[in-house]
Structure 1
Amino acid sequence: SNAFPLAVDETCGMIHGLVSTAEWTGISLSLLLGEARPRRGARWLLAEGADANAMSRSLPMEKALDDVLVALYQNGERLRPEQGYPMRLVVPGWEGNLNVKWLRRLKVVEEPVHTRDETSKYSDLRPDGKALQFTYPMDVKSVITEPSGGQKIAPGFQHITGLAWSGHGAVRRVDVSTDGGNSWQTAALDGRPATYAPVRFRHNWTWNGSPATLLSRATDQAGHRQETRTEWSARYAHGQLYHCNAIQSWHIASDGSVTNVYL
């Protein structure tokens, strides 16, 4: 993001955590809506959670009728309390807070409800002072997990690896740079990338002991490619935290220590 003037000295997990893959089982929301027979003109849906915050989000009917799931199971077992028991939404490819946990109410409406959780939060301020209220699909993203922040390496052979994903479909390609973006090499992908799911990428490299900066840049099947932090920041006002998919840079010092840096 561009909310911090200096790069935070943290691990990959602290900076890019809260990413996982699971198998969800439940009832298609389109089936439930078909049984309810919404009135004509109903173009949106309000999803409300039973948590203390009453997390609430507006969801376009087009998406609700597409691939949204009212999930009852995760990885073959009933939802755990911290995962939204007894039921939650799963909205493939879209930002995580739309996957409302502890789901207690679905209300069909004609327009977005403009709840607290989609006005005071999760909106993106632009340089001209106008805000982009809804940012639904998660843009293509990748990050090198090894070597990464907090780790230390020795000169010689290095197996660079990381994860890439996209809310616009499957990842098509990941490129890796070991010289701060001056040159790029195509990384190998593990298996066939699945829609919306993270895929692991790998690239072999020999480190000569001199300072170096590692980057990864993903491209998805829709043709979207990760931007640099400078390119991403130019489209938003200062201080934005949400929806940042900019390229992550890891600097390797001459002693082998790895830290987060801005380029």
Structure 2
Amino acid sequence: MSRDLDRPPADMPSRRRFLSGAAALGAGALAGSAARAANPENLPPHVPDWSRYLGDGVDARPYGMPSEHEAHVVRRNVEWLTADPVSSVNFTPLHELDGIITPNGLCFERHHGGIAEIDPADHRLMIHGLVDRDLIFTVDEIKRFPRTNRVYFLECAANSGMEWRGAQLNGCQFTHGMIHNVMYTGVMLKDVLAHVGLKPNAKWLLPEGADASAMTRSIPMEKGLDDCMIAWKMNGEALRPEQGYPLRLVVPGWEGNMWIKWLRRIEVGDMPWHHREETSKYTDLLANGKARRFTWEMDCKSVITNPSPQAPLTAKGRNVITGLAWSGRGTIRRVDVSMDGGANWQTARLDGPSLDKSAHRFYIDFDWDGREMLLQSRAIDSTGYVQPTKDQLRAVRGENSIYHNNGIQTWLVRSNGEAENVEVSS
């Protein structure tokens, strides 16, 4: 077993720059309340100050906020990743979360023209093209269709994209943080399409956003009539502006660039809009120069969130390994965990709800004696698909793409509990 720790791509910044840059950006994640020494005056048998005085009343915080001691739990961007933050991404702090629901304020952002700030009273959704009648809906009119609530993950196609050419970003927030998992409230797209009526030759949909980029994507009608939604709430409250307020498209299990935010228009046609590159999709460039197109579904994938580079082990003895697994093709059937770089595996405990095209939480309870570990997780979904190693992916697709990397992630946990993003040959 060999460790591929220092293999910089020929045409990209060195791995050490990625690691040092990400480590600097994520330093706050290690400076939280758990990392600070306790004040002995607040420990038993002393009575801490917060028990001596009355606190704020119910009128002091009309919109609840996390504790000041959780101020380090935030989305983080990588400044040098793109030319401008209005067309960039920030990352969900997966290592700070548990369960499967991502809090609204921590859901990663990906923008192509910055956040559109929209007054819902002025917003309209137009549906036109190969329909029986072109209609323009207000937000309130959309809300009058039958409602549904569904929990889905949303993953950017470029999630883990930097890892195609070797271990790069040091922390699961940066390697896997372009994903979130929330409950959407909205209406089924098929109900709205039934209301406008579809022509017999209606085969494709072109949703468009109201942001400055006028983001568009081609979606086959079969998907639109299956499980797509028009949503206006997430986790029970209104969509955040950065998540598409007041309306967004939900395309379960498919890559995030198709989940059009600030949804303003859906054109119905008889073929995909291939002639306009921006309405097609990201392509996956192969080693031979050809590209995979229309790879919409997000493959089965998992990552260990704790321990990880931003969440080191702090004590020997009883500890918990935990992470997330997901698949765009169904549910997660099983997750295996290895502590020795894939030589041996044990089945993790899946806990919490098991939902279609939703994230699943897994755990391994173990006793740590300070030994060095090479942690990996391997997910298997309801179709029988087994998450591959990175080497298995590269053997088929090469290293030219930055999209659809669902390879097994490896963390090297050292004897002092600190962890690092590494690779092992498979």
TM-score range (shorter-chain normalised) is: over 0.9
Native 8 Å contact 1:43 1:109 kept in 2: yes
Give the SS at the match of 1:22: strand
1:219 matches 2:380: yes
1:250 to 411, 416, 419: 411
Q: 1:258/1:135 Cα in 2 relative to 1: closer, same or farther (>3 Å)? A: same
Give the number of the structure whose alpha-carbon radius of gyration is greater.
2
Greater Cα offset, 6-15 or 161-170: 6-15
Decide which structure has greater strand share: 1
Runs of 4+ displaced beyond 6 Å: none
Write the distance in 2 (CA, Å) between the matches of 1:95 and 1:254: 38
Name the SS of the counterpart of 2:397 in structure 1: coil
Q: Distance in 2 between matches of 1:160 and 1:136?
A: 31
Alpha-carbon shift at residue 104 of structure 1 (Å): 1.2
Gap runs ≥5 in structure 2: 1-160
Highest RCO, 1 vs 2 (Cα 8 Å, sep ≥ 6): 1
Shift of 1:7: 1.4
Amino acid corresponding to residue 80 of structure 1 in structure 2: R
Which of 210, 223, 246 aligns to 1:63? It is 223
Per-residue displacement from partner, 1:144-202 (whole Å, max 9, x unpaired)? 01101133324433211111111111101000000110010000010341111111100
- Aligned-CA RMSD value: 1.7
37-46 vs 4-13, which deviates more?
Answer: 4-13
1:12 aligns with 2:172: yes
Tell me if 1:177 matches 2:338.
yes
2:199 corresponds, among 17, 34, 39, to: 39
C-alpha displacement at 1:207, in angstroms?
2.8
The alignment of Structure 1 onto Structure 2 pairs a total of residues equal to 262
Q: 1:166 to 1:252 in 2, by over 3 A?
A: same
- Could you tell me how far 1:33 is from its partner in structure 2? 1.3
- SS of 2:217 mapped into structure 1: strand
Secondary structure, counterpart of 1:20 in structure 2: strand
Do the aligned residues in 2 keep the contact of 1:143 with 1:162 (CA within 8 Å)?
Answer: yes
In structure 2, what is the Cα distance between the partners aligned to 1:202 and 1:71? 32
Q: TM-score, normalised by structure 1?
A: 0.93
Asked if 1:141 corresponds to 2:301, the answer is: yes
TM-score by length of 2: 0.59
Q: 1:261 to 1:191 in 2, by over 3 A?
A: same
Question: What's 1:237 paired with?
Answer: 398
2:328 corresponding residue in structure 1: 167
Residue 333 of structure 2 is aligned to residue 210 of structure 1 = no
Which segment is superposed worse, 224-233 or 6-15? 6-15
Which structure shows the bigger proportion of residues in helix conformation? Answer: 2
How far apart are the structure 1 equivalents of 2:396 and 2:162?
11
Quick one: distance in 2 between partners of 1:255 and 1:23? Answer: 38
Percentage identity across paired residues of the two chains: 48
Quick check: 64-73 or 235-244, which moved more? 235-244
C-alpha distance in 1 between matches for 2:331 and 2:191: 26
Task: From the superposition, tell whether residues 200 and 237 of structure 1 become closer, same or farther in structure 2 (CA, over 3 Å).
Answer: same
Cα gap change, 1:204/1:77 in structure 2, threshold over 3 Å: closer, same or farther? closer
Contact 2:164 2:399 in 1 (8 A): no
Match of 2:269 in 1: 109
